[in-house]
Amino acid sequence: MIGGGPVAVTLDQVAEAAGVSKSTASRVLSGSSRVSDRTKRAVQSAAERLGYRPNRIASGLRTRRSNLIGLVITNLVNASFHTITGVLQQRLDECGYQVLLCVTDSDPVRERRYLDMLLDHRVDGLIIVGTGENTATVQQVSAAGIPVVNLMRTPDGTPGDSVMAGDRDGAELAVQHLLGLGHRRIAFIGGPPGVDSGRDRYAGFAAALTAAGLEPEPDLCARGPYTVPFGAEAVMRVMAADDRPTALYSANHEATFGALGALVQLGVRVPEQLSLVCHEEAPWFPYWHPPITVVDNGARDLGELAAEQILRRIDSRPDHGEPGPEGVGRLIRVGSRLVVRSSTMPPGRPG
């Protein structure tokens, strides 16, 4: 502690202290080539003694690998996104990669800037929950030889692989469950039609109804942003129908909270008067009263698979081989799972 100032110890110094050349020291510390046990020990102890920490910037310049992966995501608030972010970070770290976090708030301008910045930092991979407004820039990234994985959303014309949630199937699962309980008037509160999940979940909802000989009723369907106020407003709307629904499918946890609040306010009891299923898990749904039936969209799996896919692409490009898209991007779809709790039950007799 007597002067271990801010000047970091370099490999040269370690080499000198160990009485070997820089090259040998490097070989020992990165374990690439064979070195005699004696020198190995000498270098290691010198490194230890001096408190040597390799400079990844220098090493990155030479090896052309930053060990950084850009994560461009629309927000962190949504339950799926922060679960995914956590899982991703952990999995990538296990393989020596770090996450450069970029939150766009769905702003294409910020997204664009982040993409350029990630290019400048020479990230080894890009995982993106995109707005769809910058596919040209994403193309540039891909053309620069950086693997791209699209997460949750695959905009038209985007390069790279995709890891997508099984939105359509999940919504179908939820509605089939409600139909199976005997519900016929099922309301839908869903996301914006312009977003993959909004579109796909509605498609699943409609498909399940159609398969049962029913069809979506416009005044039982509300589509809008994934927000608490929208959920509340939507419930007010669908519950104002002449013939009230007996069940409600709600497409994300924020909207569901809005819905739950509004239902309490309306004095509608769940599940006695209205069955409720939410398409997204949240930590407190199992503990709610009643515990909420959900479609688990596999957020953890999404993170896991996105990490694995980007790592695979990085590995399969050992030393900046071919740049181009090797065939078309691969599409991985994560299965959804219905978790039945107590917020759904057969419809009661109309009052």
d(CA 317, CA 128) in angstroms, rounded, equals: 20
Q: Judged by CB under 8 A, does residue 325 bind a second copy? A: no
| Residue 171 burial by Cβ neighbours in a 10 Å radius (0-12, 13-18, 19+) | buried
- Tell me if 66 sits within 8 A of 121, measured CB to CB: yes
From 82, 237, 244, 333, residue interacting with a second copy (rule: CB under 8 A): 82
Contact 204, 170 (CB under 8 A): yes
CA dist 195 and 201 (Å) reads: 10
Work out which of 216, 225, 261, 325 binds a second copy, going by CB under 8 A: 261
Asked if omega into 155 is within 30° of 0 (cis), the reply is no
Under the binding rule (CB under 7 A), the answer on residue 210 touching DNA is: no
Residue 145 contacts DNA per CB under 7 A: no
Q: What is the C-alpha to C-alpha distance for residues 141 and 134, in angstroms, rounded to an integer? A: 11
Burial of 156 by CB count in 10 Å (0-12 exposed, 13-18 middle, 19+ buried)? exposed
Q: Which of 49, 64, 121, 269 binds DNA (CB under 7 A)?
A: 64
* DSSP secondary structure of 77-120: -SHHHHHHHHHHHHHHHHTT-EEEEEE-TT-HHHHHHHHHHHHH
Nearest distance, CB of residue 321 and DNA, angstroms: 15
List the single partner that 34 binds among DNA, a second copy, none, CB under 5 to 8 Å by kind.
DNA
Q: How far is the CB of 277 from a second copy (least distance, A)?
A: 18
Burial of 280 (0-12, 13-18, 19+ CB in 10 A): buried
- Closest contact distance (angstroms) between CB of 206 and a second copy is 28
Which of a second copy, DNA, none does residue 316 bind (CB under 5 to 8 Å by kind)? none
Q: Examine residue 23 and tell whether it contacts DNA (CB under 7 A).
A: yes
Pick 41 or 53: Cβ nearer a second copy: 53
Strand bridging mode 68-73 / 98-103? parallel
For DNA, give the closer residue by CB, 38 or 289.
Answer: 38
Least distance CB 197 / a second copy (angstroms): 19
**Applying CB under 7 A, does 38 fall inside the site for DNA?**
yes
CA distance 148 to 321: 16
Determine, following the binding rule CB under 7 A, whether residue 68 of this chain makes contact with DNA: no
- Which stretch in 65-73, 234-242, 325-333, 336-344 sits in contact with a second copy by CB under 8 A? 65-73
If the CB atoms of residues 58 and 331 are measured against DNA, the closer one turns out to be: 58
Residue 318 within binding range of a second copy, rule CB under 8 A: no
Binding site for DNA (CB under 7 A): 8, 10-12, 19-24, 26-27, 29-30, 32-36, 38-39, 52, 54-55, 58-59, 61-64
